[in-house]
Amino acid sequence: MSPAPLNLYDLTREQLRVQLVRWGLNPFHCARLWNYLYIELADSFAAMPELPAKVRAQLKAHARLGILATAQETDSSDGFTRKYLLSLDDAAAIETVLMRYTGRVTACISSQVGCAMGCVFCATGQMGYTRHLAAGEIVAQAVHVARALRVAREPRRLRNVVLMGMGEPLHNYESVMHAVDILRDDAGLALGAERITLSTVGVVPGILRLAREKRPVHLAVSLHAATQAERAALVPAARKWPLDELMAACRTYSETTRRRIFYEWTLIEGRNDSAGHARAVGELLRGLPAQVNLIPLNPTAGYAGAPTRSEAARNFQQILAVEFGVRSTVRQRRGIDIAAGCGQLAVAAG
């Protein structure tokens, strides 16, 4: 049996060069091929006319372009958000979101089909875990968004990627980091150091490994509560990685990388949005290089809580700023009408 065709989106530029040699081809073609993949965003081998016929024939025989088919595409009435339901080869599906918020185009991409972490208020958590995504499936989502912009003749290019879609990226560390290496390549999508943000539920070994390996990503940590008991009730993963261990890992991360961490706090009315809660998180983050992202709860089928009112959110921000010198922003509620907001991504089982 011949081996399954290689997904070209699974390879770094160096790996592609090595692979060309294995196929008996001149590695000289690597630069041109890479350009077709990530600058011209070619959608077939036929759309690579400058490669010699022999090279294209070899590619056709041994490789594939792991393009993700659009099963559905939905635009939010806010005019800024578009959600793609993308099919994978095994009939599973994922969601990817294109956001045009601060004048820049950002892709919110998924790292797993479903999620094993079970946060009570998250639609992805509510659907459970199916599988990890391969690096090529993560890369293909960014390519999908970049190509959609090109096809629509939009003047803007894809500038940022946030790993905040479906799944827990640090639960799928190897594939996610391999994808980051491909996404950041200067000769390709060039989503380098300041352009990729990874959000984690708080996988302590993953945070320490990120620090050790000095990976070129911004880190966001989902906190949501400032005591172990309150956090464990919202985020079951906190039982495995308790709050004190998480904060120690965050401290190590910031000391090693000299980077600030974004701390996410989903604001749920009457649950974690009082002045007392604001002071507790202020105490927890005092002296740390931190910025807090406050996310008013988005509705999901499996959780009955309500989002904090804007006045309470402002008060929370005020306390953090004035009493603790901690900066925060309140996430605008966008894409909610098409369930493309934080924590709303979910797909029916394939």
Span of 94-102, 146-154, 194-202, 204-212 interacting with ligand SAH by CB under 6 A: 194-202
Which stretches does DSSP call E strand in 52-174?
Answer: 63-64, 69-75, 81-87, 93-99, 105-108, 112-114, 129-132, 158-163
Per CB under 6 A, 342 contacts ligand SAH: yes
In the bound state, the residue with its beta carbon closest to ligand SAH is 343
Query: Site for ligand SAH (CB under 6 A): which residue of 34, 121, 262, 324?
Result: 121
The residue assigned the tokens 């016929």 is 53
What residues have CB less than 8 Å from 240, skipping those under 6 apart?
none
Q: Is 342 a catalytic residue?
A: yes
Per CB under 6 A, 295 contacts ligand SAH: yes
From the list ligand SAH, ligand SF4, none, which binds 142 (C-beta under 5 to 8 Å, kind-based)?
none
Distances (CA, A) of 274 to 230, 237, 262, 296, 325: 13, 24, 20, 13, 18
Least CB distance from residue 323 to ligand SF4, whole Å?
A: 28
Residue 66 or residue 167: which is nearer to ligand SF4 going by CB? Answer: 167
Per CB under 6 A, 206 contacts ligand SAH: no
Residue 25 or residue 198: which is nearer to ligand SAH going by CB? Answer: 198
Q: Give the number of other Cβ atoms within 10 Å of residue 2's Cβ.
A: 6
Per CB under 6 A, 94 contacts ligand SAH: no
Residue 1, judged by CB atoms within 10 A of its CB (0-12, 13-18, 19+), counts as exposed
Per CB under 6 A, 149 contacts ligand SAH: no
Among residues 227, 228, 211, the alpha carbon closest in space to that of 173 is found at: 211
Tell me the C-alpha distance between 47 and 39, whole Å.
13
Per CB under 6 A, 122 contacts ligand SAH: yes
Q: Is 323 a catalytic residue?
A: no
Least CB distance from residue 95 to ligand SF4, whole Å?
A: 11
Least CB distance from residue 175 to ligand SF4, whole Å?
A: 16
The interface with ligand SAH within residues 226-265 (CB under 6 A) comprises 264
Distances (CA, A) of 264 to 174, 202, 343: 24, 11, 12
Residue 141 or residue 222: which is nearer to ligand SAH going by CB? Answer: 222
Query: Site for ligand SAH (CB under 6 A): which residue of 161, 168, 319, 340?
Result: 168
User: Which entry of 95, 137, 168, 264 is annotated as an active-site residue?
Assistant: 95
From the list ligand SAH, ligand SF4, none, which binds 264 (C-beta under 5 to 8 Å, kind-based)?
ligand SAH
What is the C-alpha radius of gyration for the chain, rounded to an integer number of angstroms? Answer: 21
User: Which entry of 108, 119, 250, 342 is annotated as an active-site residue?
Assistant: 342
Distances (CA, A) of 50 to 25, 33, 35, 41, 45: 15, 9, 11, 14, 10
Query: Site for ligand SAH (CB under 6 A): which residue of 175, 257, 266, 308?
Result: 266
Residue ranges binding ligand SF4 (CB under 6 A): 115, 117-119, 122, 124-125, 167-168, 201, 343
Least CB distance from residue 247 to ligand SF4, whole Å?
A: 18
Tell me the C-alpha distance between 102 and 159, whole Å.
11
Among residues 159, 160, 156, the alpha carbon closest in space to that of 196 is found at: 160
Residue 96 or residue 298: which is nearer to ligand SAH going by CB? Answer: 298
Tell me the C-alpha distance between 98 and 73, whole Å.
11
Q: Which residues of this chain interact with ligand SAH, rule CB under 6 A?
A: 119, 121-122, 164, 168, 199-201, 222, 264, 266, 295, 297-298, 300, 342-343
The residues annotated with a catalytic role in the active site are: 95, 342
